[in-house]
Amino acid sequence: MISAGDFRNGVTIEYEGNVYQIIEFQHVKPGKGAAFVRTKLKNIISGGVVEKTFRPTEKCPTARIDRKDMQYLYNDGDLYYFMDTENYEQMPISQDSVGDSLKFVKENDMCKVCSYNGNVFAIEPPMFVELVITDTEPGFKGDTATGATKPATVETGATVSVPLFVNVDDVIKIDTRTGEYLSRV
């Protein structure tokens, strides 16, 4: 059981017969009346997002989410194939469950497959990835004083904003949670 006063982003709870993941939470103390916790909850089965308010002392059972390390192999139309590295079983996962979480993931990279009661609902890519720039415009000397950025396409096909000094064939480090450029490697 977890009380609403202890809510954090990413925590999964069972509420009203559904399993929700907390996307956002905010402790509110109005000048008049009792404090409350305002939350945005994502239903992990259907993907719908709802807003709920809780009293800080209200308790909800935490949902048990299984996270397993698996290797991303390839995609075939609407199915993405992952392999369990312990027993080499392959698992197809639908496009709906994957979403856009694999836009920075190359084939053969390790990911975490999240499931609840055996039903896969999400894929967690590694926090940081190193990718090669395949396409970007050349930067010009003298334009770096303002910290300007330009769009660049990486080897997975995703687009990232990078500083002007980054060129084609450079290897860059990206934060997959935000999609931001971190550094050149």
The per-residue pLDDT for range 40-85, each reduced to its tens digit, is: 998 887 778 899 999 988 999 988 888 899 999 998 888 999 999 8
Q: Tell me which residue has tokens 């300007």.
A: 148
The pLDDT of residue 1 is 87
The pLDDT of residue 143 is 54
| Domains of the chain and any CATH numbers | 2-60 (2.30.30.30), 66-124 (2.40.50.140), 128-184 (2.40.50.140)
Is the confidence at residue 29, as pLDDT, over 60? Answer: yes
pLDDT band at 33 (very low <50, low <70, confident <90, very high): confident
Read off φ and ψ for residue 128, nearest 5 degrees.
-130, 140
The pLDDT of residue 111 is 92
Read off φ and ψ for residue 88, nearest 5 degrees.
60, 25
pTM of the model: 0.70
The pLDDT of residue 172 is 92
111-165 pLDDT, tens digit per residue, is 998 888 888 878 888 989 999 999 988 876 665 567 788 899 999 888 999 988 8
